[in-house]
Amino acid sequence: MNSEISISIKDSPISEILEKCLENKSISKDDALCLLESKDIISILKLSSLLKTRFKKDVITYSRKIFINITNLCRDFCSYCTYRKNPFESSTVMMKPTEIIKLAKIGKKFHCTEALIVAGERPEDRYKEAREWLGQFGYNSLVEYVVDISEKIVKDTGLLPHSNLGNITRDEMKLLKTYNVSLGLMLESSSERLSEKGMPHEFASSKKPSNRIEVVKNAGRMKIPLTTGLLIGIGQTEDEIINDLFLLKTINMEFNNIQEIILQNFQPKINTRMKDFPSPTNDYFLKIVSIARIIMPEMNIQIPPNLSPTSYSSFIDAGINDWGGISPITIDHVNPEFQWPNIKKLQYITELMHQRLRARLPVYPEFIDKHDFISPQLRNYVENFIGFDRLVKEGYLDEFR
């Protein structure tokens, strides 16, 4: 046992819980809630940092990506979102195949490895303009379009698609898996309360927790590496946040396909119903991130550094091992108010905290050699990028650090 940790634990009111974690024993929901309510943030941070080192060594990863905002039309209305647009707005995006491939080729030129494809939830269900846009290329649905464009991206550029399209069916997952190394779907929260009148998801039917949970489970049944996570600070209680973390742990124990959990801190935005809603304090968010590591010590845990621009280095002490996707070219279209940090600066900050920054693919190393998790069509493209540790070959990005 680390002697510094041992000394701090003896004097802590939560010493029994911390000792249990140090012995690699699972904690209960009540234990986790006790940690979240505790004022002893120092001992919690020391423990989560130790667990991160124990299970993830001294490496923090990121994915070098091109962000393809295929369309920001969406059938839902979330109270905090500025991403979704209506067809009549000048900032509405409906990308053509030629535009997408051109952008992917720019990503290839800058040695990106990920093509992140993001869109609103099934816009064709609400807008005739979306149906007409898809129809001119011969598609009936957004998913059909992304299935084909993913194949084109792979074959024309070698970049590896990772699509985040909201709630999709098992049949749609099967089609997407052929040319997507992983998929993304944020759970955000499993609280039914947040869909009630006046709450953030009142007008967002796709955010119904049972629907989202089923998508996460279906990805497991389909052996698809999935990135998911929580949006912290949109009105959840402490009990609900702990329940969400244990829910994701339970699903992953059954299907073993959650490759990463993103913990995203809510940031209020102008022109939204939640513009005056406070974001979580840094200390509160630090504790939640730490507790996620304590609950799931072997999980890949990410916080987006652009959403904590003045404090992201502190989350290294909270036990994260990933910074998420970062683009040297495109903005964060979901959070355009927040710029990604320069990758050289990110490397400097990471090394200052005695960690090594390494690039990964949009599929994590532990899933690359798992049976049936990568399609045969993508196998050679994946192998082109990686070294013996299944991370991106260090020499591949040297010119662009």
Domain holding 190, by residue range, is 60-228+239-247+271-277+325-400
At 401 the pLDDT is 46
At 396 the pLDDT is 80
Predicted confidence (pLDDT) per residue in 161-217, tens digit: 999 999 999 999 999 999 999 999 999 999 999 999 999 999 999 999 999 999 999
CA 348 to chain centre: 23
For the record, the structure tokens of 259 come out as 């490759």
Q: Is 77 domain-assigned?
A: yes
Q: Is 112 domain-assigned?
A: yes
CB distance 261 to 229 below 8 Å: yes
If one counts the domains in the chain, the total is 1
Q: Which band of pLDDT confidence, cut at 50, 70 and 90, is reported for residue 374?
A: very high
At 15 the pLDDT is 87
Q: Is 41 domain-assigned?
A: no
CB distance 112 to 328 below 8 Å: yes
pLDDT for 6 beyond 90: no
CATH of the domain at 98: 3.20.20
Q: Is 52 domain-assigned?
A: no
- Give the up-direction half-sphere exposure of residue 253: CA atoms within 13 A in the CB hemisphere: 10
Return mean pLDDT, the chain.
94
At 395 the pLDDT is 79
At 87 the pLDDT is 94
pLDDT for 7 beyond 90: no
Determine whether 279 is exposed, middle or buried from the number of CB atoms within 10 Å of its CB (0-12, 13-18, 19+): middle
pLDDT for 261 beyond 80: yes
At 315 the pLDDT is 97
Q: Is 12 domain-assigned?
A: no
Q: Which band of pLDDT confidence, cut at 50, 70 and 90, is reported for residue 398?
A: low
Predicted confidence (pLDDT) per residue in 80-102, tens digit: 999 999 999 999 999 999 999 99
Q: Is 151 domain-assigned?
A: yes
293 vs 14: CA distance, rounded Å? 17
Considering only CA atoms, which of 336, 322, 316, 362 is closest in space to residue 160? 362
At 4 the pLDDT is 53
pLDDT for 400 beyond 60: no
At 3 the pLDDT is 52
183 versus 22: which is more confidently predicted?
183
Q: Is 120 domain-assigned?
A: yes
358 vs 389: CA distance, rounded Å? 11
Q: Is 14 domain-assigned?
A: no
240 vs 320: CA distance, rounded Å? 21
Considering only CA atoms, which of 291, 297, 310 is closest in space to residue 349? 310
